[in-house]
Amino acid sequence: MSVLSSKLDQKYYSMGEKAGDQECLNLEGDLEELRETFNSGKTRDASWRRSQLKAILNLLKENEDDIFRALKQDLGKHRCEAYRDEIGTLTKSVHFALDGLKKWMSPKKVHLPIIAFPATAQLIPEPLGLVYIISSWNFPIGLSLEPIIGAIAAGNVVVLKPSELAPACSAVLASVINKYLDNKAIKVFQGGVSVSQQLLQQKWDKIFFTGSSQVGRIVMAAAANHLTPVTLELGGKCPAVVDSISSSWDRECTFKRLLGGKFASCAGQVCIGVDYILVEKKFVSTLVSKLEIWVKKMFGDNPKECMARIINKHHFMRLQNLLSDPLVKASIRCGGSFDEDNLFIEPTILVDPPLHSAIMTEEIFGPLLPIITLENIEDSVNFIRSRPKPLTIYAFTNNEKLKNMLISGTSSGGITFNDTLVQHAADTIPFGGVGQSGFGRFPPWDDKKLQLFRDAYRYDYIGIGLTFLGLKKY
């Protein structure tokens, strides 16, 4: 562990632990203050909403190094990955909210039947009130501040409960939110399960939860006591359908995007990451050999330098146990080594593990990638349909018939063709799952990649070109 990480502990943890204890003791008082703030009408004002959104921009800019260090300490994330998946997406989301705020707040006229003449009608957007956000550990900054951005833009007051499994990030969030945002309208409660349970027992106007389906059931049951509306961002086994590719360029692009969608984002600990691949038997040998080559190109001889680590020993052992079945272990084609001291698992590819095994019935949430072979790629539709609905389906194909079969024959939160993860960055399309999944971007990392991410999230197309050509300082 670096000296900087140790200093981060000293800077945030002592304050964070005390704040967490105090907030638990003053729970009723804090929530009453939030309700009073909301009832005062303060958060309905456009100027308040804009000021808080702009404060988040300053928070991200002025605390970027601390956020990088916290993400490195909790998850081993490289700063390029941290910017791409958390700081950059948040910056983009704030600008999107600022640009859309006036339109979102404006009343909308609706048409009435002639019989109602001369009456008129409007739909007036109204904030819900007191919002409880429970964030997860795999994107501890992004999945905390992203829903806060939406809640603020809609004029709500907010309580955030960060994940205790990412303690450095939790402490940073408590510190910077307290410093930059309106403490009478936005509060952070740190702590473990007991704190979450105390908060869930309160009456809320909205609960936003990101995490596992098991905990999602607990959240939904608690919300039912007060008939509180919930948004559950859960997970699922997201398949990637790989059809025959028509050109060499398509093939190379496919391999990079498959690996990027599995290993290059939080070491596969991401709900929208590729969980397994479906491919025709006749293509599997080519696919495996090419993926092995690209794993080496992207992550080098020492993947620890650019890949995130597993969040804790419990999840490390869970992933190790997925390979404990002898038939699963026998299906490993590359990788498979574990470094328990550093909580690191190298990219591992398997071919045709038993379909009844845990690796094919549970969400993997780690750097293990099964490949399942089919006689015909069209069989992928029935394969996906026979299993719980995924959060996302990825399909690499130029076959319009297969695309239509997947669209009409399966149900998921979304389908992305010929890419992975990119849908998460698109502001103009909804993000979410169905059923049990809930209601240029590749390593190796360097300063040039980081600057490209900065330019991309600002939509600075000239900057992207200059950086790509090496004509811009980074």
Please indicate whether residue 253 is annotated as part of the active site: no
Closest CA to 443 of 270, 247, 282, 304: 304
Closest CA to 437 of 403, 397, 388: 388
- Cα torsion at 267, 270, 272, 276 (round to 10°)? 50
**Annotated catalytic residue, options 169, 238, 266, 271:** 271
Q: How many CB atoms lie within 10 A of CB 216?
A: 21
Residue length of the chain: 474
Q: Quick one: tokens of 317?
A: 């052992």
Q: Please name the residue ranges forming H helices in 364-446.
A: 379-385, 400-409
Lookup result for tokens 């951005």: 149
Is the CB of residue 371 less than 8 Å from the CB of residue 284?
yes
Please indicate whether residue 233 is annotated as part of the active site: yes
Q: How far apart are CA 275 and CA 269, in angstroms?
A: 10
Does residue 175 sit in helix, strand or coil? helix
Please state whether 336 falls in left (phi above 0), alpha (psi between -120 and 50) or beta: left
In our burial notation (b when 16+ CB lie closer than 10 A, e otherwise), range 114-124 reads: eeeeeeeeeee
Q: Tabulate helix, strand, coil % of the chain (nearest 5).
A: 50, 15, 35
Which DSSP letter does residue 423 get?
G
Q: How far apart are CA 260 and CA 449, in angstroms?
A: 14
Q: How far apart are CA 76 and CA 344, in angstroms?
A: 9
**Annotated catalytic residue, options 23, 233, 280, 346:** 233
Q: How far apart are CA 336 and CA 350, in angstroms?
A: 9
Does residue 364 sit in helix, strand or coil? coil
Is the CB of residue 275 less than 8 Å from the CB of residue 263?
no
Q: Residue 227: beta bridge partners?
A: none
**Residues marked as catalytic:** 233, 271
